[in-house]
Structure formats: C-alpha cells, structure tokens
Structure 1
Amino acid sequence: MVNSVPNTLRGVHTHADHYDYLIIIAGEMVLGLRDSRVGSPSFGWATTVRVTGEDPHIVVIPPGVSHGFCFTKPSTHVYGVTAHFVRPEESICRWNDPDLGFDWPCTDPFLSPKDAAAGSYKDMLARFSLLPLDQ
C-alpha cells in the first residue's frame, strides 16, 4: 500500500519482465500509458486515464507498456507485480519527455530522486533494445 500527496508523480517506468497490478482505494490519479512494445500493432499509442477510489478497478499493465502515475488528490493505492524488478535502473525515463505524448495535470510535480534524474524516452528504449530501426 502506497500513500501519495497531491502533485506527486511516480514514473515513467517500463518493465520488460513482469506485469504490474494496481488499484486506487482512496483519492485520484492520472495514469499515463504508452505502448513501447516494438512489433505491437499499438506500438507508440499513448493515453492518460483518470482513475479514482470512488469507482475502483484493478489496472493491469503488461510488460513493455511505459507508465506513470500523477496523483491529483491525497491518494492510497495498492501495487503488485508478477516478478521482482530485474533492471530498474534501465526502466525509467523523464515524466515530461515530449515523445511520451502524455497530457499530465501537473507542471512541477514531486518526484523521487531516481525519477528526477531519468533520461529521455528514446534513451530508455535504446537501453532496452526496443527502439525501432527507423528511429
């Protein structure tokens, strides 16, 4: 269980080796998702979705889908994974990288030190060897 204050942003992360499961049990977040799976018919598709504790649903994020969470209210979410992190240092990129295509509701969020130091989306894809050959 994780508690977050408003204007906290977690991510953007991409995992090559496990699924993420999350549910908001109180509060609200905006979830950013981008398909980073080369060869996927929806590769490059991106969206942001508002998720609330008032109408809780479990969100399943498959391997290769880049994701971040921006909390707009005091919030509590429960988070689980199908495997332990293998390469966390290589799985992050800047939350506001324009290549992500996310429309976040914040402009100067609270970030973890790791997320604040993250590089570009393209660099993250290259480290994962996921960058399409035409990029």
Structure 2
Amino acid sequence: MAEICKTSLPGVLEIFPKVFNDQRGYFFESFRADWLEKEHVFETWVQDNQSYSQKGTVRGLHFQREPFAQAKLVRVIQGKVLDVVVDLRKDSETFGSYYSTIMDTEKHNLLYVPRGFAHGFSVLEDAIFVYKCSNYYDKESEGGILWNDPSLQIDWMVNDPIISEKDTKWQSLEEFKVTSEGGL
C-alpha cells in the first residue's frame, strides 16, 4: 500500500507507493483510485499528459479556469524535478501560499493537485514528467501566474532557467487577485 502524506496546503497530497526491488529491477503500482478515495478524493481521470524537459527548464505556473478546471496527479518517470503548486482558491486560508517537493525516479512519489491551484516544475535532471487530468485541456480556459513573481519567493533551484515565451508573460499573483475577483 502507498503512504499518503498531507501537505501544508489543504487538499494537496503527496503519495509514496510501495516499491518492490530485487535483482531484476523494481515494480510498483503507480496509481490506484483507492489511495485517493481513502482521503475522500473521487476523481475521474480523462486525460494523460507527458512531457520531456531538459535540465534547467521551468514550466508553469499554469491552471485552467472553470468550466475546465483540472485536478492533476503528477509524477516523474525519468529524472528529477522540483514540483510547485500555488493555492489560488479565493476562500482558502492558504491563498497565495505554495508547496514544493522533489519528485524523482528514486522516490517514485506522486503529487495530487486539486482544482484551484497553479502548477509548475523546474527540471533538476533531464526528466520525463507525466500527469493525469480530471478535465480536458481548453485553450480559452488556460491561465497562469508569473513563475518568478517576487511575492511568491519560490526558489526554483535552477540557474539561467529555460522558459517558454508564454510563461514569461503571465500575470503576477497580485494582478490575478484583481482580475479573477480574488481567486479561482
């Protein structure tokens, strides 16, 4: 069975599956619905995504607005990343706070990210990143928070980050508060 850890952000869960190692390699269950159901999380996963990123890349901080808001279940199948989620739920006591964790192929950990969070990651070693989504991607519903917003003070743990043009143009958290009536 997996070990489920609650994080500093209510609703965000880090999952450590039981890994069976022997002389051939390893085996583990990378997903079981009952892991989340024990934490009263009932999601229907409709889309799987996969990306490859080279060391030094920063992707994020992304979210989807209603009616296409997405919960995500993320993991790394090769390499190492710093995974970051920012609470954008307008009625949350932790609004504007973030949680980060190292995800890698040694720990095989997963992170459950509920709707209402921005998500991103920095690549500490070339990585293949995969995640399940509870809703389909919709370009018109896409949003983001500036990855290096000074009010968040996120240490992405990379020098000279490789960033898409789109990710350099997202709004600050303060602008998000104003334009989104205080949150998602």
TM-score class normalised by the smaller sequence: 0.7 to 0.9
2:89 paired residue number: 37
C-alpha distance 107-94 of structure 1, shift in aligned 2 (>3 A): farther
Question: 1:63-113 CA distances to partner (integer Å, 9 max, x unpaired)?
Answer: 11122100010111112211123411xx11211101223121124211122
Please, what is the CA RMSD of the aligned residues? Answer: 1.7
TM-score, normalisation: structure 1? 0.84
> Per-residue deviation at 1:128?
2.5
Q: 2:150 is matched by which residue type in structure 1?
A: P
Which of structures 1 and 2 has the bigger CA Rg?
Answer: 2
1:5 is the counterpart of 2:54: yes
Question: 1:45: how far off?
Answer: 2.4
CA contact (8 A) 1:48 1:104 kept: no
**Counterpart of 1:68?**
120
Counterpart secondary structure, 1:67: strand
Give the structure-2-normalised TM-score. 0.63
Partners of 1:76 and 1:49 in 2: CA distance? 16
- Higher relative contact order at CA 8 Å, sep ≥6: structure 1 or structure 2? 1
Q: Classify 1:58/1:99 alpha carbon distance in 2 versus 1 (closer, same or farther; 3 Å).
A: same
Structure 2 spans left out of the alignment, 5+ residues: 1-49
Gaps of 5+ in 1: none
